Chain A
Amino acid sequence: MEPGEYEALVARANSGGAMELLQFMRTHKIHQPELVLLHGSRLVKSRGLGNELWTVLEQVFLAAAELGCDQWRDYCLKELTTKFPSSLRVERLKGIEKESLGEWKEAEKLYQKILATKPEDTLTHKRLIAMHKQSGKVPEAIEAINTYLDSFTTDSEVWHELGELYIEQGTLQRAAFCFEELIVQNPRSMYTILTYAELLYSTGDLENSRKYFSLACYVDGANLRALWGLFTCNMALAEKDKSREKSKQFQELQKFTMEKLRAAYKGLGAQGQVALKLLAAVPTVSAS
């Protein structure tokens, strides 16, 4: 997506560009249901969309369900049901409708029914997980995710979701396992590396945490979260093992980290000065 491209499309939507806008929003997963409802409803009324009509109807349905525009939601669902009476995709939309009405049981039944017919339907699986999460049933959600991951082990999104749920539950070891999976799938992701490093730090595995912070600094040397993580990790390790402080490698690492931090905060005004002062207050570094 080019900068300003989306805004231009929004501006053009009223003068015949609604279709492109909706397509763009679908492609780039832009979540603005009120815009979808505004332009989509107009497009649906205008007809002449060909096969695109059904996609737009689905898009409008999702937006209406989210915004609580019941009439539009029901209209879109009715149209789609009439057109595709035996479609699982429409069945899933019916589940979403139930969700929007708060009929969780009904929705779950629908989802289970879909999964019984088509166990490989990942979207329904995810919808089910989302529904559990939405209704506050985290253990059910975790269970559903685990069931899902038994079949689809490479779905990084779900691993991430599971990791998040474990963090939410406070089972950091399990969360760290999830992030390990994520790192295996995408070893250069700063977010995954940093989160994993922080999880390790939280679980007290300082040595491994330092390694992963170092990896993060290696990937992006200017990342403050990585630098502060490494700095904090170093401090914690120094606290834990005093002899380490004297090792040359440790000192060089800490020095490097601080220099990087100083360089990053230099010239950032008052906030930068605060950070610099904080760094200056670090005793071990100043002693060296």
Chain B
Amino acid sequence: MWRRIQLALLPSLSLALFADEVGQYDWSLKQIGKPTALAFSGENPDSIYAATQSGVVASMSMQDGSLQWRRVASTEPMALLRPAGRGLISATDTGLVQAWKGAAGDLSWQKDFGEKVLDLVVLSSSVLVLRDKEVEARNLAGKSEWMVSSKDAGAQARYVAAAASKDGVCLLASLPAGGSILQKLDLNGKVLEKVEVEFSVPQSPEAEYMVMDAHLAVLKDGTLSVHPICGGGSETMELPQKSGWRLQPWQQTKGVFAITDGATTSVFSFGSKGLRQLKNLDQMAVVGPVFGVSDDETGQLVALAMAQPQAQIQLMDPASGNVQPAVKIAGYTAAERGECQLLLVHETRSGEHRAVMSAADHSLAGIQSSKVSWVREEGLASIRQADLYSRHTLADKRSEDKSLGAQLANIPGHLAELLKAPFEILNYVSSVIMARRQRKDGGLPLMPDAVIPFSSEELRDFGADKLILALSSAPKLFALQATTSEVVWTKYLGIDPKCSEQKPGTGIDPCTAWMQLLPSSASPHAELVVIAPKTATKPQKVMWMDPLTGKVLHEESMPNDITAVTPLPHKGKNLVTHPLLLIDSKGGLQTLPKDATELQEAAGNLFHYEVDTVNQVIKGFAVPKAKRPSKLMATWNMEVGSLGERILAAATPQHRHWDHVPVHIKGDASILYKYINPNFLAVVSEDKNGLNLYMLDAVTGHLLHQSQVAGGAGPVHLAACDNWVVMHYQNPKKTRFEMLVTEFFQAKADDGPWEILFGKQGVQTRSAHQLERPVPLQQTYIVPAGVTAMGVTATLKGITPRSIILALTTDHLTRISKDILNPRRPYPSMTPNDKKSLPSQFAPTKDEPLAPYTAQIPWRHTEMLNYYHALHRVTGIASSPTALESTSLVFAYGLDLFFTPMQSAKAYDVLSPGFNYLLLYGSVGVVVVVWATISMFASRKMLQDRWK
């Protein structure tokens, strides 16, 4: 009985683990990604459904944009989303069809067809799944009712469209030789009629076709034609210009569609009255459906949305082509969000219109009567780069006139500052005493689902007042307040619609944006250097921005054929526009701004390396010492491709800009000197035997260490910091994940602390060519899960033991202390001697608190940083120090965002968060008051006694 009670108590105990800490300092943001389809169902008129490029199907509130449910259905992008009965049917690009319940988001059924699903046609009680070779009808419960193969239509025919007719189904199959076959089926899948139709579905890449509401629209050579699928007369229209037109995606707008040439948009109606041009707009516009109170209303309106220069929505009657007056939407412009992509309007019973609009910056905005009521910045679901930047910087201290006259002139200002000082101190004291402080700046926009951590102000006071600067693949720049997730500023960079958005980020792709904080994110004043991709009208450009406000300080156009951009060493003479070194594909050197003198100054001391994953080669270059260096000089070359290897990953030490501890002190107070080399490069390659980890000096090309992991396989994640490299990989042979940690020490005897304290070793600049070979120590550990991203904590002085942050494939975010992933951990005493190969100098001493080596590293539930928030598809982890040495900030990004402060070695330099300051100040106050009162009484009593 007692055991049963104990067992019954266990789950509740584990549920309560740190539950009170959730949302204290951390915030999490659940996102859906770039919307690819929107849907509305009359069953849940307050909700809007979206399917996204991140493979998510979600339901959101029309009112405030908050998520009602979200299902991360697939890793592939969602292509189709159709309301069906009380639920939804979705299909991914790769043919995973899923049916969802509309109210709760439960999965009713799913079927992976393994090939592209062209269309989902919802009939009254079933759904048609249209694929190239087959059309399958399933009822809404998922049961397959019938299927038709394209072979019935012709030997090599492939289906292109399906439509519901009055008493059955029409299927259109295209023949390779040209021409099309129309099959008419009854509702049981029986082919009633098979006719050859005169129009053919275009096969050439120049032509476009689109299926919409039982019609096939074809755009070819400046001719637009609409063919009814179930038979009837085709209509054709010549367009004013021959080329450049493309069909806008059809969004279930009955009888209306639009085409665009990038600058203008034409809206057409089709159906009973034939193909008619309703409206011609001289800008990009999108046509979306208007859902009224009842779904089947005939003569339904459609909505037009235009973004330039200010967004506006217009309702149009497709029958007559009449438009209602445009409603301008305050605070929504094309410059901020790009062109509109998807539009859906819902007319409520009160006659009010609520619109939901997605834009090129991946945002989804809710609009209610000319005002933006909510915005979901879904660009944040595809962050490519993120960094943290401290907000405690004074931009106006950039240039100070050191002359005596100027300093004398500043005296009144300094005096005014002095006068202000007491008030500042008072303010500070009052802010410290007040447990609940007033927010310093309010009114910043928050995401619909965001909740500000309840102790965020406290964290801000500990030096966590930072901005998260993130660059999304939209491409859009975001600056979020780290402690609260408020959006401080955003900047949409714009992109050419012709650019494919899924290109890998190597080299400088003209369609890819790039950003970096220069001189570094640790610098008190940094600039955000951004390479904006080319847009339809503007070429690629480089911008120098103020990271605090997003203001563009300087802008230059980017030269062509650039393969690498690297910051030039800068001595702070001119902090506006940090100079950049651009390297073109032939090794030629250019600078931005042009002819920057820094290149000449740094020539001879500037090195460059390239990890070429195409040719499988690692190359080292130097900027030659010349008056005007114009070309890189190749210095070393390492061809791993010739050994049959393929480069998987490369890493350089993280957090180089922050301090670190150059030594490790053993238990007997002897010192191990860490091998700290900022030019250190770790590269992992794969061959038929397994993985190879190369550790190189990127300046000299010296191979410092090489290790082979037999049986290792990708995916590989690398993290390097200080003097160590950690590699996470899969071992398929042993069906497990492993981590290999390599740590480098100098082969130098301990000469006592004298040199460290008083010697000049620390300040001497040493050439990479004179560095001695380090001693590598290596160990392998088994970890229970795969990772999607790895990060390393950063602290201000690097004294706190670092932790490795791992985003797991199980949607967790956890940490492993570097003290546990330590290659110096001693083997247990019964281990055979041949394994105990650690040189005696590095062997741990008796007093050193190093646990004996155990291969398995278990996940500890107390070290899951994300509490109960599942973090989907984390792609990167950024870390930054706070003013407290014990605490570093961790920001994990991917589909979901998560921010938390992390204390690797517990909070040794701060009172516990629950510390009752009010009680402390209160008790001190009471003591003072009591002391004063008692002193007064004692003095009076003494006087009375003397005068008795």
- Chain A residues 73 to 97 lying within 8 A of chain B, measured CB to CB, are 80, 83-84, 87-90
Whether A72 is near chain B, meaning CB under 8 Å from some CB there, is no
| Nearest-neighbor residue (CB-CB) of A87 within chain B | B947
- B-chain residues with CB within 8 Å of residue A80 when the two chains form the complex: 947
Whether A54 is near chain B, meaning CB under 8 Å from some CB there, is yes
- A-chain residues with CB within 8 Å of residue B939 when the two chains form the complex: 51
The answer to whether B943 and A51 have CB atoms under 8 Å apart is yes
- B-chain residues with CB within 8 Å of residue A84 when the two chains form the complex: 944, 947
The answer to whether A54 and B948 have CB atoms under 8 Å apart is no
Residue-wise interface mask of B (908-948) relative to A, using a CB-CB cutoff of 8 A (1 in contact, 0 not): 00000000000000000000000000000001001110111
State in angstroms the CA–CA spacing of A243 and B948 once bound together.
Answer: 66
**Number of chain A residues whose Cβ lies closer than 8 Å to a Cβ of chain B:** 9
State in angstroms the CA–CA spacing of A109 and B944 once bound together.
Answer: 24
State in angstroms the CA–CA spacing of A54 and B947 once bound together.
Answer: 9
State the main secondary structure of chain B at its contact with A: helix
- Chain B residues 642 to 698 lying within 8 A of chain A, measured CB to CB, are none
- A-chain residues with CB within 8 Å of residue B943 when the two chains form the complex: 51, 54
Most buried by A among B946, B947, B948: B947
| Nearest-neighbor residue (CB-CB) of A50 within chain B | B939
- B-chain residues with CB within 8 Å of residue A89 when the two chains form the complex: 946-948
Expressed in whole angstroms, the minimum distance between the Cβ of B361 and any Cβ of chain A is 75
| Nearest-neighbor residue (CB-CB) of B939 within chain A | A51
| Nearest-neighbor residue (CB-CB) of A51 within chain B | B943
State in angstroms the CA–CA spacing of A166 and B943 once bound together.
Answer: 40
State in angstroms the CA–CA spacing of A118 and B948 once bound together.
Answer: 11
- B-chain residues with CB within 8 Å of residue A87 when the two chains form the complex: 947-948
State in angstroms the CA–CA spacing of A87 and B948 once bound together.
Answer: 5
- B-chain residues with CB within 8 Å of residue A51 when the two chains form the complex: 939, 942-943
State in angstroms the CA–CA spacing of A51 and B943 once bound together.
Answer: 7
State in angstroms the CA–CA spacing of A51 and B944 once bound together.
Answer: 10
State in angstroms the CA–CA spacing of A80 and B943 once bound together.
Answer: 12
- A-chain residues with CB within 8 Å of residue B946 when the two chains form the complex: 89
State in angstroms the CA–CA spacing of A217 and B444 once bound together.
Answer: 103
- A-chain residues with CB within 8 Å of residue B942 when the two chains form the complex: 51
- Chain B residues 743 to 774 lying within 8 A of chain A, measured CB to CB, are none
Expressed in whole angstroms, the minimum distance between the Cβ of A21 and any Cβ of chain B is 21
State in angstroms the CA–CA spacing of A83 and B943 once bound together.
Answer: 11
| Nearest-neighbor residue (CB-CB) of B942 within chain A | A51
State in angstroms the CA–CA spacing of A90 and B942 once bound together.
Answer: 16
- B-chain residues with CB within 8 Å of residue A88 when the two chains form the complex: 948
Expressed in whole angstroms, the minimum distance between the Cβ of B808 and any Cβ of chain A is 73
Expressed in whole angstroms, the minimum distance between the Cβ of A118 and any Cβ of chain B is 8
State in angstroms the CA–CA spacing of A233 and B943 once bound together.
Answer: 55
Expressed in whole angstroms, the minimum distance between the Cβ of B14 and any Cβ of chain A is 67
| Nearest-neighbor residue (CB-CB) of A89 within chain B | B947
| Nearest-neighbor residue (CB-CB) of A53 within chain B | B943
- B-chain residues with CB within 8 Å of residue A54 when the two chains form the complex: 943, 947
Expressed in whole angstroms, the minimum distance between the Cβ of B303 and any Cβ of chain A is 85
State in angstroms the CA–CA spacing of A89 and B948 once bound together.
Answer: 6
- A-chain residues with CB within 8 Å of residue B947 when the two chains form the complex: 54, 80, 83-84, 87, 89-90
State in angstroms the CA–CA spacing of A171 and B809 once bound together.
Answer: 119
| Nearest-neighbor residue (CB-CB) of A88 within chain B | B948
State in angstroms the CA–CA spacing of A88 and B939 once bound together.
Answer: 19
- Chain A residues 116 to 170 lying within 8 A of chain B, measured CB to CB, are none
Expressed in whole angstroms, the minimum distance between the Cβ of A54 and any Cβ of chain B is 6
State in angstroms the CA–CA spacing of A80 and B946 once bound together.
Answer: 13
| Nearest-neighbor residue (CB-CB) of A118 within chain B | B948
State in angstroms the CA–CA spacing of A83 and B939 once bound together.
Answer: 15
State in angstroms the CA–CA spacing of A51 and B940 once bound together.
Answer: 9
State in angstroms the CA–CA spacing of A54 and B939 once bound together.
Answer: 13
Residue-wise interface mask of A (43-83) relative to B, using a CB-CB cutoff of 8 A (1 in contact, 0 not): 00000000100100000000000000000000000001001
- A-chain residues with CB within 8 Å of residue B944 when the two chains form the complex: 84
Expressed in whole angstroms, the minimum distance between the Cβ of B265 and any Cβ of chain A is 90
State in angstroms the CA–CA spacing of A54 and B943 once bound together.
Answer: 9
State in angstroms the CA–CA spacing of A244 and B947 once bound together.
Answer: 63
| Nearest-neighbor residue (CB-CB) of A90 within chain B | B947
| Nearest-neighbor residue (CB-CB) of B940 within chain A | A51
Expressed in whole angstroms, the minimum distance between the Cβ of B499 and any Cβ of chain A is 86
State in angstroms the CA–CA spacing of A68 and B274 once bound together.
Answer: 132
- Chain B residues 521 to 552 lying within 8 A of chain A, measured CB to CB, are none
Expressed in whole angstroms, the minimum distance between the Cβ of B30 and any Cβ of chain A is 70
State in angstroms the CA–CA spacing of A90 and B947 once bound together.
Answer: 7
| Nearest-neighbor residue (CB-CB) of A84 within chain B | B947
State in angstroms the CA–CA spacing of A90 and B944 once bound together.
Answer: 12
State in angstroms the CA–CA spacing of A87 and B946 once bound together.
Answer: 9
Expressed in whole angstroms, the minimum distance between the Cβ of B350 and any Cβ of chain A is 78
| Nearest-neighbor residue (CB-CB) of A80 within chain B | B947
State in angstroms the CA–CA spacing of A54 and B942 once bound together.
Answer: 13
State in angstroms the CA–CA spacing of A87 and B942 once bound together.
Answer: 13
State in angstroms the CA–CA spacing of A80 and B947 once bound together.
Answer: 9
Most buried by B among A51, A80, A83, A88: A51
State in angstroms the CA–CA spacing of A284 and B939 once bound together.
Answer: 71
State in angstroms the CA–CA spacing of A51 and B936 once bound together.
Answer: 12
| Nearest-neighbor residue (CB-CB) of B943 within chain A | A51
State in angstroms the CA–CA spacing of A281 and B219 once bound together.
Answer: 165
Expressed in whole angstroms, the minimum distance between the Cβ of B180 and any Cβ of chain A is 113
State in angstroms the CA–CA spacing of A87 and B944 once bound together.
Answer: 8
Residue-wise interface mask of A (104-124) relative to B, using a CB-CB cutoff of 8 A (1 in contact, 0 not): 000000000000000000000
- A-chain residues with CB within 8 Å of residue B948 when the two chains form the complex: 87-89
Expressed in whole angstroms, the minimum distance between the Cβ of B943 and any Cβ of chain A is 5
Expressed in whole angstroms, the minimum distance between the Cβ of B935 and any Cβ of chain A is 12
- B-chain residues with CB within 8 Å of residue A90 when the two chains form the complex: 947
- B-chain residues with CB within 8 Å of residue A83 when the two chains form the complex: 947
| Nearest-neighbor residue (CB-CB) of A121 within chain B | B948
State in angstroms the CA–CA spacing of A216 and B494 once bound together.
Answer: 119
Expressed in whole angstroms, the minimum distance between the Cβ of A26 and any Cβ of chain B is 13
Expressed in whole angstroms, the minimum distance between the Cβ of A56 and any Cβ of chain B is 13
| Nearest-neighbor residue (CB-CB) of A54 within chain B | B947
State in angstroms the CA–CA spacing of A89 and B944 once bound together.
Answer: 11
Residue-wise interface mask of A (257-270) relative to B, using a CB-CB cutoff of 8 A (1 in contact, 0 not): 00000000000000
State in angstroms the CA–CA spacing of A219 and B420 once bound together.
Answer: 77
State in angstroms the CA–CA spacing of A90 and B939 once bound together.
Answer: 19
Residue-wise interface mask of A (12-43) relative to B, using a CB-CB cutoff of 8 A (1 in contact, 0 not): 00000000000000000000000000000000
State in angstroms the CA–CA spacing of A203 and B849 once bound together.
Answer: 98
State in angstroms the CA–CA spacing of A136 and B944 once bound together.
Answer: 36
State in angstroms the CA–CA spacing of A103 and B943 once bound together.
Answer: 30
Expressed in whole angstroms, the minimum distance between the Cβ of B847 and any Cβ of chain A is 62
Expressed in whole angstroms, the minimum distance between the Cβ of B938 and any Cβ of chain A is 11
- Chain B residues 847 to 888 lying within 8 A of chain A, measured CB to CB, are none
Expressed in whole angstroms, the minimum distance between the Cβ of A274 and any Cβ of chain B is 56
State in angstroms the CA–CA spacing of A80 and B939 once bound together.
Answer: 17
State in angstroms the CA–CA spacing of A80 and B948 once bound together.
Answer: 12
- Chain A residues 218 to 247 lying within 8 A of chain B, measured CB to CB, are none
Expressed in whole angstroms, the minimum distance between the Cβ of B616 and any Cβ of chain A is 92
State in angstroms the CA–CA spacing of A45 and B31 once bound together.
Answer: 82
Expressed in whole angstroms, the minimum distance between the Cβ of B937 and any Cβ of chain A is 13
Expressed in whole angstroms, the minimum distance between the Cβ of B178 and any Cβ of chain A is 116
Expressed in whole angstroms, the minimum distance between the Cβ of B447 and any Cβ of chain A is 65
A51-B939, A89-B947 given; 14 more Cβ-contact pairs under 8 Å: A51-B942, A51-B943, A54-B943, A54-B947, A80-B947, A83-B947, A84-B944, A84-B947, A87-B947, A87-B948, A88-B948, A89-B946, A89-B948, A90-B947
Can you offer 13 A-B residue contacts whose CB atoms are under 8 A?
Answer: A51-B939, A51-B942, A54-B943, A54-B947, A80-B947, A83-B947, A84-B944, A84-B947, A87-B947, A88-B948, A89-B946, A89-B947, A89-B948
User: Which 6 residue pairs spanning A and B have beta carbons closest together?
Assistant: A84-B947, A87-B947, A51-B943, A89-B947, A88-B948, A87-B948
